[in-house]
Structure 1
Amino acid sequence: MKGKILDILKSNSDDFVSGQSISRNLGVTRAAVWKYINKLKEEGYLIESVSKKGYRLKSCPDLLTYDEIKDILNTRYIGRHIVYYDSIGSTNDEAKKLAIEDSCVDGTVVIAEEQTSGRGRFDRKWASAKYKCINMSIILKPNIEAYNVALISSIAAAAVGMAIDECGMKAKVKWPNDIVVNWRKVCGILAEASGEMNRLNYVIVGIGINVNQESKDFSEEILDKATSIKIEKDKCVSRKMLLCSLLDKFEKLYDEFLKSENAERSLKYCKENSILIGRKIEVIRKNQITVAKAVDIDEMGALVVENENGVRERLISGEVSLHRVYHAN
């Protein structure tokens, strides 16, 4: 009902709409209309109320609800069902619970304005400033072989990178799951899958983007490693527009992958915008660090590295970082 009232106000944004007119159109009491109007005000909608005239919507908050993005979202199914939370522990955890339900449709997106227990790879904590980030998890139910899951991470990285590029800055991809701007992390991606043998039950693609944080929103410990779009652009950007751009690009790249069984366009973006390829990196495995040169990302999304003896190997998982003397190479 609240969404229907909001739709009426949006479609008449230049005029007042009487409470009586709303109640008559929706078949509810004027008291109920008043209650929902107050709820909308509490959520940040600026609604002018004038006796004998009614209500007029003056501005909308930058919330990531379906009501706020549906008119600018161009996807067919990704993000067409949104499960929205003001605050939650982890969107990935909630997405896993939803994914096993028969009623959960492919492309469902869990979004939270704040995560209190967000995490990245290796269970590292991912901090989020309320109403300043994009914290989301996409639920996918693809009919693909389990070994192709790594390509979905590349698809997500390309979609995020392309969406950030549209904000007027240049995003770079740090294999396998980070997006950086000016050498600092602006986005983390965490893809998790569940399946049996070669059959996938679902894939959860968690994406956390630092959008409108200021320097004070980051701890001193990570300030030299993390950044936000606002910091780099020196102005706020619309989270709603960024989210819709990301979902649209993700759906296009994902559909191409499902139809062709390859992620050629996504991998091309990741390779052309890689922050690692051509540089010395440190490969961290079982607390051991080896130095190698990143030379390629192959057709399966693996990072190809070359050791000091010229021997090449494929990394399909693990942790890498730029070698401390990369700038001299």
Structure 2
Amino acid sequence: MFTIYAFDEVSSTNDVLKQQYHIYQDHSVILAHKQTKGRGRFDRVWESQEDLTFSILLKNNYPNELIAPLSVVFALKQYGIQTSVKWPNDILIHGKKLCGILIESIYEGNEKVATVIGIGINLSKKDNLLTKADYVSLPKEELLQKILIQYDQLMMAKSSFLLSSISQYSYLSGRSILLDGIIWKVDGIEEHGYLRVHHQDTIRLLKSEEITLEAIYEKE
């Protein structure tokens, strides 16, 4: 069961929980109606006002990273909206970015004490991002509740179900990517969120925090 704390404006919902995790209990959710310094991977700035931006704090159970994107995909599916997961942290609609996810760990010394899962979904048109982003017009609070219900249910799911589901909705599966000047064929997503790729006889398991995809090629 999640407890939601709503704020009119914060710099970043992830930062609120990272800075004050000792105050909030396990399964706390920070919801911001306006986020002024939201971040994506590699500290890319993502500001929002009309969109759905929230973060989840988990202290006692560190979930499989596949749960966050699948909870969004399954929640949107209830509205008849079909999306795909672009590894590692984007949800796409019509090939354009609809949602971004940022998962961060909190440590005390060498001990991991909490995980923060930040999710931002475009619910409004972005004139300056027309070619790269898309949006859906949905009720913010209702969508949040649907995502949290899905998240709660998926935390109890077997890893085999998570893997088969992410494979079904993976945008990259069957495509090729450019990495370090080499074109790699994407085989799929492995347990714990690794991307499995191969080039000739060489196989690599990629961690999301280690690489940036230089280019993505259409399926052959």
| Deviation by residue 1:88-118 (Cα, 9 ceiling, x = unmatched) | 11010001122123xx211100010111101
Query: Among residues 60, 84, 92, which one is paired with 2:14 in the alignment?
Result: 92
TM alignment of 1:274-313, pairs within 5 A: 274-283=170-179, 288-307=180-199, 309-313=200-204
Query: Amino acid of the residue matched to residue 229 of structure 1?
Result: V
Structure 2 distance, partners of 1:255, 1:138, is 17
In the other structure, the counterpart of 1:183 is: 95
Query: Between Structure 1 and Structure 2, whose CA radius of gyration is higher?
Result: 1
| Secondary structure class of the residue paired with 2:148 | helix
In the other structure, the counterpart of 1:109 is: 29
| Deviation by residue 1:206-234 (Cα, 9 ceiling, x = unmatched) | 000012x13xx331xx211100013xxxx
In the other structure, the counterpart of 2:58 is: 140
In the other structure, the counterpart of 1:227 is: 134
Query: Amino acid of the residue matched to residue 156 of structure 1?
Result: A
In the other structure, the counterpart of 1:254 is: 155
Structure 2 distance, partners of 1:295, 1:326, is 14
Query: Among residues 149, 163, 166, which one is paired with 1:270 in the alignment?
Result: 166
Structure 2 distance, partners of 1:135, 1:106, is 19
Q: Are the aligned partners of 2:66 and 2:166 in contact in 1 as well (CA < 8 Å)?
A: yes
Deviation at 1:199, TM superposition (A): 3.8
| Deviation by residue 1:103-147 (Cα, 9 ceiling, x = unmatched) | x2111000101111011000001131x2x3110000001345xxx
Structure 2 distance, partners of 1:218, 1:289, is 33
Mind listing any 5+ residue stretches in structure 1 that lack a counterpart? 1-76, 231-236, 257-261
Q: Which has the higher strand share?
A: 2
Deviation at 1:290, TM superposition (A): 2.9
Change (3 A) 1:115 1:289: farther
Query: Amino acid of the residue matched to residue 171 of structure 2?
Result: I
Structure 1 distance, partners of 2:118, 2:205, is 24
Structure 1 distance, partners of 2:181, 2:136, is 32
Deviation at 1:296, TM superposition (A): 1.5
Q: Relative contact order (C-alpha < 8 Å, sep 6+): which is higher?
A: 2
In the other structure, the counterpart of 1:319 is: 212
Deviation at 1:272, TM superposition (A): 0.7
The range that moved more, 117-126 or 290-299, is 290-299
| Deviation by residue 1:52-82 (Cα, 9 ceiling, x = unmatched) | xxxxxxxxxxxxxxxxxxxxxxxxx22xx22
TM alignment of 1:19-98, pairs within 5 A: 77-78=1-2, 81-98=3-20
| Secondary structure class of the residue paired with 1:204 | strand
Identity of aligned residues (%): 33
TM alignment of 1:166-181, pairs within 5 A: 166-181=78-93
Deviation at 1:299, TM superposition (A): 1.9
Matched, 1:239 2:140: yes
In the other structure, the counterpart of 1:218 is: 127
Q: Which has the higher helix share?
A: 1
| Deviation by residue 1:211-270 (Cα, 9 ceiling, x = unmatched) | 2x13xx331xx211100013xxxxxx21222111100000111233xxxxx533222221
TM-score by length of 1: 0.62
Query: Among residues 95, 116, 122, which one is paired with 1:204 in the alignment?
Result: 116
| Secondary structure class of the residue paired with 1:116 | coil
Q: Are the aligned partners of 1:280 and 1:292 in contact in 2 as well (CA < 8 Å)?
A: yes
| Secondary structure class of the residue paired with 2:213 | strand
Structure 1 distance, partners of 2:70, 2:139, is 20
TM-score by length of 2: 0.91
Structure 1 distance, partners of 2:60, 2:183, is 36
Following TM superposition, where does structure 1 have runs of at least 4 consecutive aligned residues deviating by more than 3 angstroms? 196-199
Q: Are the aligned partners of 2:59 and 2:113 in contact in 1 as well (CA < 8 Å)?
A: yes
